């Protein structure tokens, strides 16, 4: 009887541990072309602009991924960028990492913290906001990795979850931004990036700042497409 108790004591933790382990997904199942079909924010379905609904991700076996969206297609007289590059990897068969462009919120305020510092220029003897010079000082673009939990991965569906700040998701290429959150930089040199998050002013500073302090959970659902 004592031997039976000893065996139960040794075997029971192994059973519990095994039952608590998460499902592991095969990395090769991720490879392919995926179309975004829905996004939820804290469990509530997000309303997507048409440019966001067209979002697709091509995940290649060499660790490179391509993001396709129409958020900036109207820029450059209708010839704006529609494809963007990043990398991907998986971890322990439970998480998938994507690198994407993101923007850090870095506007300056006046000494009394009451107004946003903007750059001005003269146009026809009038002082107007220099949008290009201003946004360059308000936003800092960088390429960074985001880690998603894999909720579902089948031959047809990929569902992934990300917990992050609203601003970290909103002002990034995750995976197709809302067009109204970005502006076209019409005076940049040819061949350089011609889009940026919107101009920060006294009217929207505190709203944007709060977005970078508000944590939410996003679930992205994709369906596989042939290519």
pLDDT band for position 196 (cuts 50, 70, 90) = very high
Asked if residue 1 is part of any domain, the answer here is no
Angle in degrees, CA 173, 177, 180, rounded to 5? 140
- Mean pLDDT within 76-84: 90
At 113 the pLDDT is: 76
CA 12 from centroid of its chain's CA atoms? 42
At 188 the pLDDT is: 67
What's the domain count of the chain? 1
Asked if residue 203 is part of any domain, the answer here is yes
pLDDT band for position 8 (cuts 50, 70, 90) = very low
Indicate whether 176 pLDDT > 80.
yes
Asked if residue 11 is part of any domain, the answer here is no
Asked if residue 210 is part of any domain, the answer here is yes
- Domain span including residue 74: 23-225
Asked if residue 133 is part of any domain, the answer here is yes
Q: Find out whether the peptide bond into 158 is cis, omega within 30 degrees of 0.
A: no
Asked if residue 186 is part of any domain, the answer here is yes
Q: What percent of the chain has pLDDT over 70?
A: 88
Which of 65, 102, 70, 103 has the alpha carbon at shortest distance from 85? 65
- Mean pLDDT within 128-148: 94
pLDDT band for position 4 (cuts 50, 70, 90) = very low
pTM of the model: 0.84
Asked if residue 8 is part of any domain, the answer here is no
The enclosing domain of 180 has a CATH number of: 2.40.128.280
> Which of the 8 DSSP states describes residue 180?
G
Q: What percent of the chain has pLDDT over 90?
A: 71
Specify the 3-state DSSP secondary structure of 189.
coil
For residues 5 and 152, the model is more confident at 152
Residue 86: exposure state from Cβ atoms within 10 A (0-12, 13-18, ≥19)? buried
7-11, 131-135, 200-204: least confidently modelled range: 7-11
Asked if residue 5 is part of any domain, the answer here is no
Question: Do residues 138 and 106 touch, judged by C-beta distance below 8 A?
Answer: yes
């Amino acid at each position: 009887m004592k031997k039976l108790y000893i065996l139960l004591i040794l075997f029971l933790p192994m059973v519990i541990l095994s039952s608590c382990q998460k499902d592991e997904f095969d990395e090769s199942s991720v490879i392919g072309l995926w179309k975004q079909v829905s996004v939820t924010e804290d469990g509530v379905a997000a309303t997507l602009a048409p440019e966001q609904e067209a979002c697709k991700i091509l995940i290649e076996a060499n660790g490179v991924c391509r993001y396709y969206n129409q958020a900036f297609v109207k820029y450059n007289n209708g010839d704006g960028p529609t494809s963007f590059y990043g990398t991907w990897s998986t971890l322990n068969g439970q998480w998938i990492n994507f690198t994407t462009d993101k923007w850090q919120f870095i506007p300056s305020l006046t000494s009394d913290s009451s107004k946003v510092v903007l750059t001005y220029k003269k146009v026809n003897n009038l002082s107007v906001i220099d949008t290009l010079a201003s946004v360059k000082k308000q936003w800092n673009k960088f390429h960074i990795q985001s880690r998603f939990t894999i909720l579902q991965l089948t031959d047809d569906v990929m569902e992934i979850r990300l917990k992050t700040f609203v601003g970290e998701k909103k002002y990034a290429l995750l995976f197709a931004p809302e067009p109204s959150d970005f502006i076209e930089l019409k005076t940049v040199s040819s061949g350089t990036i011609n889009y940026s998050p919107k101009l920060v002013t006294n009217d929207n500073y505190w709203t944007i700042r709060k977005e970078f302090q508000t944590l939410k959970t996003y679930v992205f659902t994709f369906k596989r497409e042939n290519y």
